[in-house]
Amino acid sequence: MATATERARTEAFAHLRFARMGPRKLRRVADAIRGLSVQEALTLLKFSNVYAAGPIEKLLRSAIANAENNHDMTSDDLFVTRITVDGGPGGGFTKRLDPRAQGRAAFKRKRMSHVTIAVGDHPAKKRPRKAGASIVVGQSAVRQRPAAPPAPSGRRTRKKKEVASAASSGTGAES
């Protein structure tokens, strides 16, 4: 049976505490990269159009650096073995007020999260995928320029028609 010190040699950890983002947003990204190789996970995080992918990409790079420097592992054959997202303080930690009916006020809940990621040289055990939202890699297609706006039509408002007809007939309010 492997002891805790032996397990620490086969896995490298990185922790992100007090991330200013809700746990549900981060879990969506964490579920997408769990069990992938490090290179696949970094590619997915870099090109995804999800705001929560930024902190997790930075944390994954930190775990890779920990594995290389502290445990003499090569980054080519690393896998995301574990990633957990837990809720941090988010009740009355940040004081923001939200106006409510009849002159009352309520506190806004600015949620925080704690993320832990472990990378190792063996892939994680395969678990069935959970149903739910996934992250999508951003489209790399070049956007088409919109067509030129249509030329303004010859329509005029009533007031402009009256001014134009008065100017052309020569009779106006001057006389």
Residue 175: predicted pLDDT: 45
Is there a contact between 128 and 38 (Cβ–Cβ < 8 Å)? no
| Length of the chain in terms of residues written | 175
Residue 168: predicted pLDDT: 73
CB-based burial label for 6 (10 Å; 0-12, 13-18, 19+): exposed
Q: Which two tokens stand for residue 30?
A: 């964490």
pLDDT band per the 50, 70, 90 thresholds, residue 135: confident
pLDDT band per the 50, 70, 90 thresholds, residue 125: confident
CA distances from 64 to 33, 68, 77, 142 (A): 14, 6, 11, 33
Mean pLDDT is lowest, of 41-45, 99-103, 149-153, for: 149-153
Residue 96: predicted pLDDT: 82
Average pLDDT, the chain: 82
Residue 152: predicted pLDDT: 66
CA distances from 175 to 165, 166, 169 (A): 16, 12, 13
Residue 142: predicted pLDDT: 59
Domains of the chain: 7-120 (3.90.470.10)
The full 3-state SS of the chain, as one line of letters, equals CCCHHHHHHHEEEEEEEEECCCHHHHHHHHHHHCCCEHHHHHHHHHCECCCCHHHHHHHHHHHHHHHHHHHCCCHHHCEEEEEEEEECCCCCCCCCEEECHHHCEEECCCCCEEEEEEEECCCCCCCCCCCCCCCCECCCCCCCCCCCCCCCCCCCCHHHHHHHHHHHHCCCCCC
Mean pLDDT is lowest, of 8-12, 104-108, 120-124, for: 8-12
Reported pTM: 0.69
Backbone angles phi, psi at 79, to 5 degrees: -130, 155
State the Cα–Cα distance between residues 28 and 30, nearest whole angstrom. Answer: 6
The yes-or-no verdict on residue 31 having pLDDT over 70 is: yes
The yes-or-no verdict on residue 23 having pLDDT over 70 is: yes
Residue 162: predicted pLDDT: 73
